[in-house]
Structure 1
Amino acid sequence: MTSLFALSHVDVRFGRVTALRDASLAIDAGERVALIGANGSGKSTLLRLLHGLVPHASGQFASHAPRRELAMLFQRPHMLRATARTNVAIALWLRGTPWGEAKRQAGPALARVGLEALIGRNARTLSGGQQQRLALARAWALQPKVLLLDEPTASLDPTAKHEVEALLAEAAQGRTLVFASHNLGQVKRLASRVVYLEQGRVVADLPVHDFFNGPLPEAARLFVKGELV
């Protein structure tokens, strides 16, 4: 079976900085892959590469996921200075849905994340947790087959984290999920596989049970223990 994404000895560079270095991995459809590592380890760059937002400088990268089947959530999602409904509808409109139908579909998407009461609220006045739920509704409305998430709960309070994580677990059903997280409890709850990155390199790539219960490279072991400087 052909992998959904395949990297072989990939480098990604931004000027003189190499953000991904000799990275090799494959992700199959239906997997739930957590990307972990210290800040600057290459997690966000890898997600952006998978989404087609940055090019690779060397090596081989193949994606068998059409762009229309991808959706990405950022740690701080961009919100238009418009209503919650419009923020969802415009994503559908950009995909070719007629505007009236896009506005109609936005309602059920917002209801799915518990924001039906805020459908007419300016999105930029919503709380951080509400904005993440709105971003998830926007992605959900597009019916993607692949969800790419860059620290989607990192800036939220504990209650909002719990709410958004529960929605992510529901959204992941029947989809491929690749997400970056520093929350190891969240990784255990959501992932089936863990990829540990260090300075742009893939250092460990293991099933979630093996990662947290088996031997690891030293840097990954210290990271899991919270002792990596």
Structure 2
Amino acid sequence: MFHDAGNGQIGATDGRARPRRFELREVSVERAGRLVLDDVSATLPGGSVAVFGPSGAGKSTLLRLLNRLLEPSRGAVLYEGRDLREIDPLELRRRVALVPQLPALEPATVADNLRLGQRFAAVGRWLRWGRQVGATGADAAGADRDALAKLLASVGLGPEYLARQAERLSVGEQQRVMIARALALDPEVLLLDEPTAALDADSRRQVEQTLTRLRRERGIALVLVSHDRQQVARLCEWVVELDRGKLVAAGSCSEVLGRVGG
């Protein structure tokens, strides 16, 4: 079953919402002589999209195609109508930021970890949220702290976390710092590879609330890998379902999950 998503806008939230649409055209990925993805054609419209299916379905492989951490063996992946191979990988990864399944923070303060994201952003774009261009000395330090605090506030953490050592945070707090670091890039899309898989129920709820708030307040598109049917129903509007590397279904959350049942 394959359905086009029309104009690509679902769950539009504010004036900044744009289509941010991915298309996979007859995409196959072969690794070690095995087809991980097999002739997949699908549309991932802007909004909140789940890549859903059991373990080994090819979900994480598909996600990594969307910012060129992997390249297709055959076929093409497009973003807003443009072949990804025409976009510089570094620029693409600023616009389409990946948050991995397990936190991967440096053994440093939270502030230093957030600055890594800022440094990856293009000159003139990093610290867009609060930095005073040309500020020096105490003014620059204050602007830097304000910008970092805003990043943390966007994921529900207070400014007191800036001085804390990242490795001493709970796993749930680390995952929210990972999301904040990705937000330092001012991305259009967040790619999330089972971001709550290692979390307890309370931490999972906090991360899900963070993602819902980012959709509502910032209009950031989400592509979420999950095998958790209930989580997909809570967070996503569109579902691409895979099984053993093949496309099984693509459509609205209610349509696809209704077919899955349960």
Normalising by structure 1, we get a TM-score of 0.86
Question: Are 2:23 and 2:44, in contact at CA under 8 Å, matched by a contact in 1?
Answer: yes
CA–CA distance in structure 2, aligned partners of residues 33 and 136 of structure 1: 17
Question: Are 1:150 and 1:179, in contact at CA under 8 Å, matched by a contact in 2?
Answer: yes
Residue 109 (structure 1) shift? 0.8
Question: Are 1:92 and 1:102, in contact at CA under 8 Å, matched by a contact in 2?
Answer: no
* Residues 156-175 of structure 1: pairs in structure 2 closer than 5 A: 156-173=199-216, 174-175=219-220
> In the alignment, does 2:258 pair up with 1:210?
no
Aligned to 2:244: 199
Deviates more, 1:96-105 or 1:185-194: 96-105
> In the alignment, does 2:52 pair up with 1:36?
yes
> In the alignment, does 2:105 pair up with 1:76?
no
Question: Secondary structure of the equivalent of 2:211?
Answer: helix
Residue 123 (structure 1) shift? 1.0
Question: Are 1:105 and 1:141, in contact at CA under 8 Å, matched by a contact in 2?
Answer: no
Question: Are 1:188 and 1:208, in contact at CA under 8 Å, matched by a contact in 2?
Answer: yes
> In the alignment, does 2:164 pair up with 1:148?
no
> In the alignment, does 2:176 pair up with 1:133?
yes
Deviation readout 1:113-170 (Å, 9 max, x if unpaired): 2142221122122111011110111122222111111001111000000011000111
Deviates more, 1:16-25 or 1:59-68: 59-68
AA matched with 1:111: A
Question: Are 2:55 and 2:227, in contact at CA under 8 Å, matched by a contact in 1?
Answer: no
Identity percentage over the alignment? 35
Unaligned runs of 5+ in 2: 1-6, 8-18, 83-90, 128-139
Aligned to 2:43: 26
Aligned to 2:131: none
Question: Are 2:20 and 2:221, in contact at CA under 8 Å, matched by a contact in 1?
Answer: no
Residue 90 (structure 1) shift? 1.4
CA–CA distance in structure 2, aligned partners of residues 102 and 62 of structure 1: 36
Q: 133, 153, 156: which one pairs with 1:111?
A: 153
Residue 17 (structure 1) shift? 2.3
Aligned to 2:27: 10
Question: Are 2:229 and 2:257, in contact at CA under 8 Å, matched by a contact in 1?
Answer: no
> In the alignment, does 2:226 pair up with 1:181?
yes
Question: Are 1:128 and 1:156, in contact at CA under 8 Å, matched by a contact in 2?
Answer: yes
AA matched with 2:179: L
Change over 3 Å in CA distance of 1:111–1:175 after alignment to 2: closer
Question: Secondary structure of the equivalent of 1:172?
Answer: helix
Aligned to 2:10: none
Unaligned runs of 5+ in 1: none
Considering only aligned residues, what root-mean-square deviation do their CA atoms show, in Å?
Answer: 2.1
CA–CA distance in structure 2, aligned partners of residues 39 and 192 of structure 1: 21
Deviation readout 1:74-108 (Å, 9 max, x if unpaired): 11021111110111111101223489665652222
Question: Secondary structure of the equivalent of 2:197?
Answer: coil
Residue 61 (structure 1) shift? 2.0
Question: Are 1:140 and 1:171, in contact at CA under 8 Å, matched by a contact in 2?
Answer: no
Normalising by structure 2, we get a TM-score of 0.76
> In the alignment, does 2:109 pair up with 1:92?
no
CA–CA distance in structure 2, aligned partners of residues 150 and 120 of structure 1: 28
